């Protein structure tokens, strides 16, 4: 087997792994019951799938410039995927789009309840975790 | 910490910005795919213009950076990324049904925005967790963990988040952050992180020894 064929075989294997992981991510997004769970599927297998696809491309690259272009793709995906997942998950939690019956513990709800209870006792505004002032959180109770 | 920031001069301000400028130039070169005098020169100009136009509050760097722990973090990160991806991929197609989850509050040791951000980023990609809410004032991360059937699993997730934070603090945390971690390790009867002479002096001063 020549070197080029070995590289081709490597690319095939990595592309196959990428396809499987992306499929699993897609299945997870459909099958998981609430936005918080779905975001797990949208970040983790998706990133590894992307890594595999980029490695497959890198193996076929004929010059360094192509490989150099792959690096920022991965870097920005790794930086932005958790942030977008956090924003969607946070919005989902705040708008009560979550399956409470699937949570065995929720320490954020506990903290919010405690903040509301403290505020009621001292007759002040609740000191909510992650409070953003330009947002109306007065009735924020999951 | 904050006292130091107000005293820094122009030159030190530039030095603090330097990592960002270098990163922007490197990114520019990566996008062009070749290194020539023109591409470096335009990269420097674009980096300067971008940092002036889209001004961000300076990141409070500790000035420490451990190459060894940086590489250790990168290695653990890669291993965890593969493990977490395969695990979540399996949970997605697991015929036994969808997993039971939990939202837990993890108390970090650091007060640094940078380390908190890096930890939140890293754990979102790594051990079955996702950051739902951040309490910056109290250094609390509210983490959604996938597949936590019992209390032991919840504590494992909490521990894994703290391990990630510890690796990042070892890489670029300030003396104060290392001290906070060591204090807890001593309280729990675990050996503290290996201390440099400078770190030991700092901790002795803070603890009044």
At B15-72, the pLDDT tens digits run 767 778 888 898 888 888 778 888 899 999 998 888 888 877 766 666 677 888 889 9
At A61-93, the pLDDT tens digits run 877 778 888 888 888 888 888 888 888 888 888
Residue of B nearest to A29 (CA): B92
C-alpha atoms less than 13 angstroms from C-alpha of B203 in its C-beta half-sphere: 20
Query: Picking from A16-20, B9-13, B102-106, which range would have the lowest pLDDT averaged per residue?
Result: B9-13
Domain ranges of chain B: 2-53, 67-206
Q: How many domains are there within chain A? A: 2
A8: distance to nearest CA of chain B, Å? 23
The closest CB to that of B85, out of A27, A47, A89, belongs to: A47
Among B residues 32-51, those touching chain A with beta carbons less than 8 Å apart: 33-34
Q: Which of B27, B22, B30 is nearest to A64 (CA)?
A: B30
Q: A71 and A39: one domain?
A: yes
Chain B interface mutation, best of A40, A55, A106, A130, highest count of B Cβ atoms under 10 Å: A40
Q: How confident is the model at residue A16 (pLDDT cuts 50, 70, 90)?
A: very high
pLDDT of residue A84: 87
Cα-Cα-Cα-Cα dihedral sign, residues B105, B110, B112, B118: negative
Task: State the angle between helix axes of B37-53 and B10-32 in degrees (0 to 180), rounded to the nearest 10.
Answer: 130
Q: A91 and A42: one domain?
A: yes
Contact yes or no for A25 and B33 at CB 8 A: no
pLDDT at A139 over 60: no
At B177-208, the pLDDT tens digits run 888 888 877 777 777 776 677 777 887 787 77
Mean pLDDT of chain B: 81
Q: At which residue do the structure tokens 């989850």 appear?
A: B101
Q: A82 and A47: one domain?
A: yes
Contact yes or no for A81 and B33 at CB 8 A: no
Q: A55 and A73: one domain?
A: yes
Q: A114 and A47: one domain?
A: no
Per-position DSSP letters for A46-111, written without gaps between them: HHHHHHHHHHHHHHH-SSHHHHHHHHHHHHHHHHHHHHHHHHHHHHHHHTT-S-GGGEEEEHHHHH
**B143 pairs with which residues across the strands?**
B104, B131
pLDDT of residue A130: 57
Q: A94 and A110: one domain?
A: no
Q: Other CB atoms closer than 10 Å to residue A30's CB: what's the count?
A: 9
Tell me the C-alpha distance between A32 and A40, whole Å: 9
Q: How confident is the model at residue A55 (pLDDT cuts 50, 70, 90)?
A: very high
The closest CB to that of B130, out of A69, A85, A103, belongs to: A85
The closest CB to that of A45, out of B29, B88, B135, belongs to: B88
The closest CB to that of A78, out of B34, B125, B151, belongs to: B125
Q: A111 and A54: one domain?
A: no
Q: Which domain holds residue A131?
A: 105-142
Q: Does A27 touch chain B (CB under 8 A)?
A: yes
Instruction: Please return the burial class of B46, using the count of CB atoms within 10 Å of its CB with bins 0-12, 13-18 and 19+.
Output: middle
């Amino acid at each position: 087997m020549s070197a080029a064929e070995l590289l081709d075989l490597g690319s095939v294997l990595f592309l196959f792994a990428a396809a499987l992981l992306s499929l699993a991510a897609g299945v997870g997004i459909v099958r998981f019951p609430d936005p918080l769970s779905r975001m797990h599927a949208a970040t983790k297998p998706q990133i590894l799938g992307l890594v595999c696809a980029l490695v497959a491309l890198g193996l076929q690259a004929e010059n360094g410039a192509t490989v150099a272009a792959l690096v920022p793709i991965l870097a920005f995906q790794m930086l932005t995927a958790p942030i977008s997942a956090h924003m969607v998950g946070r919005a989902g939690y705040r708008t009560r789009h979550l399956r409470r019956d699937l949570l065995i513990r929720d320490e954020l709800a506990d903290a919010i309840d405690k903040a509301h209870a403290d505020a009621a006792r001292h007759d002040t505004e609740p000191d909510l975790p992650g409070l953003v002032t330009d947002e109306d959180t007065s009735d924020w109770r999951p | 910490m904050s006292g130091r920031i107000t005293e820094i001069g122009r030159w030190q301000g530039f030095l603090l910005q330097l990592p960002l400028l270098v990163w922007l130039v490197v990114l520019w070169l990566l996008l062009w795919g070749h290194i020539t005098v023109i591409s470096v020169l335009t990269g420097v100009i674009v980096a300067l213009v971008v940092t002036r136009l889209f001004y961000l509050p300076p990141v409070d760097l500790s000035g420490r950076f451990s190459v060894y722990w940086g590489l250790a973090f990168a290695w653990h990160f890669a291993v965890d990324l593969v493990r977490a991806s395969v695990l979540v991929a399996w949970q997605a197609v697991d015929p036994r049904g969808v997993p039971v989850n939990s939202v837990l509050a993890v108390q970090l040791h650091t007060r640094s925005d940078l380390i908190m951000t890096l930890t939140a980023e890293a754990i979102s990609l790594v051990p079955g967790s996702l950051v739902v809410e951040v309490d910056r004032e109290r250094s609390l991360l509210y983490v959604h963990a996938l597949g936590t059937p019992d209390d032991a699993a919840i504590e494992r997730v909490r521990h894994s988040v703290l391990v990630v934070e510890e690796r990042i603090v070892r890489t670029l945390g300030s003396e104060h952050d290392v001290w906070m971690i060591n204090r807890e390790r001593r309280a729990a009867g675990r050996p503290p992180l290996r201390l440099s002479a400078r770190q030991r002096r700092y901790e002795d001063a803070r603890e009044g020894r």
